[in-house]
Amino acid sequence: MRKPILAGNWKMNKTVAEAAALVTAMREGLVAIPGVEKVLCPPFMAIPEVARLVAGTEIRVGAQDMYWEPSGAYTGEVSPVMVKEFCDYVIIGHSERREHFGETDATVNRKIKAAFAHGLTPIVCVGESLALRREGRTETWVSDQVKAALEGLSAEQVASLVIAYEPIWAIGTGLAATAEEAERVCGQVVRATVAELYGAAVAEAVRIQYGGSVKASNIAELMRQPNIDGALVGGASLSAEEFVAIVRYSAEAKGLA
């Protein structure tokens, strides 16, 4: 069975002191939950302190983005070499990066390749807008995003990465895809596209998360779906109690706790 992976994307929230307090509040609860991979993705400034606080536990740390060059005259950017010092994971292609900061399918692909080159595991985000959904273009849009993201990657690399299906219309809106809808896209679109490109074995190995208004109240139903292997959690990951509950209910839904 694919190991479930729950990642908390804190976005641009929490000072270093606040991040330390949040990790301290959730650390014991997360460590006690078996069989589930837990990843915390704080802002860049807080990554070293979060990494220090979870050292020696199974909790992993991820960055929310990175540039593809290892060093150079790129003012304001953070390189994979810098990220690798503290992190195992890096979120790439989040819809907010695409919408607000000009991220494209081409830059997403370059960042994924750079992540692998430096021993980082990418969490690759795909998802459609409300307008695309209303136009009935969810399947083609998401499939095309997956194809563009994975271009030039080896089968081994694809099998090891994480794909997060995040419908843009559900991010931070309080609207979540139904479990059946999320399962359909994760299975019949995302996993099916990977199978088309790399074969059934790779498609069965790749882990697919759902993201978009994930809460303790809806995670169990999502995680009971066979093609949903975890969640990329936004606002709810800023509450220690809520995030621990999400991870616990996920483990229970998969029969691991």
Q: Which residues contact 58 (CB under 8 A, 6 or more apart)?
A: 31, 37, 38
What is the model's pLDDT at position 175?
A: 78
Quote helix, strand, coil % in the chain, to nearest 5. 50, 15, 35
Taking the C-alpha atoms of residue 213 and residue 70, their distance in angstroms, rounded to an integer, is 34
What is the model's pLDDT at position 247?
A: 98
Residue 32, phi then psi, degrees to nearest 5: -75, -10
What is the model's pLDDT at position 1?
A: 85
What is the model's pLDDT at position 211?
A: 95
Predicted confidence (pLDDT) per residue in 38-83, tens digit:
999 999 999 999 999 999 999 999 999 999 999 999 999 999 999 9
Rg (CA), the chain: 17
Residue 87, phi then psi, degrees to nearest 5: -120, 155
- Joined together, the tokens standing for residue 52 give 């220090």
What is the model's pLDDT at position 41?
A: 99
Element at 41 (helix H, strand E): strand 37-41
What is the model's pLDDT at position 174?
A: 81
Q: Which residues contact 209 (CB under 8 A, 6 or more apart)?
A: 5, 7, 123, 162, 163, 164, 165, 228, 229, 230, 231, 232
Residue type, 85: E
What is the model's pLDDT at position 170?
A: 86
Low-confidence ranges of the chain (pLDDT < 50): none
Tell me if 172 sits within 8 A of 135, measured CB to CB.
no
CB atoms within 10 A of CB 57: 12
DSSP 130: H
Note every long-range contact of 227-231, with CB atoms under 8 Å and residues 24 or more positions apart, other chains counting. Answer: 227/183, 227/186, 227/187, 227/190, 227/191, 228/179, 228/182, 228/183, 228/186, 229/2, 229/3, 229/4, 229/5, 230/4, 230/5, 230/6, 230/7, 230/36, 230/37, 230/162, 231/6, 231/7
Predicted confidence (pLDDT) per residue in 189-218, tens digit:
999 999 999 999 999 999 999 999 999 999
What is the model's pLDDT at position 243?
A: 98
What is the model's pLDDT at position 244?
A: 98
Residues marked active site are found at 94, 166
Residue 119, phi then psi, degrees to nearest 5: 75, 20
Enumerate domains of the chain plus CATH numbers.
5-253 (3.20.20.70)
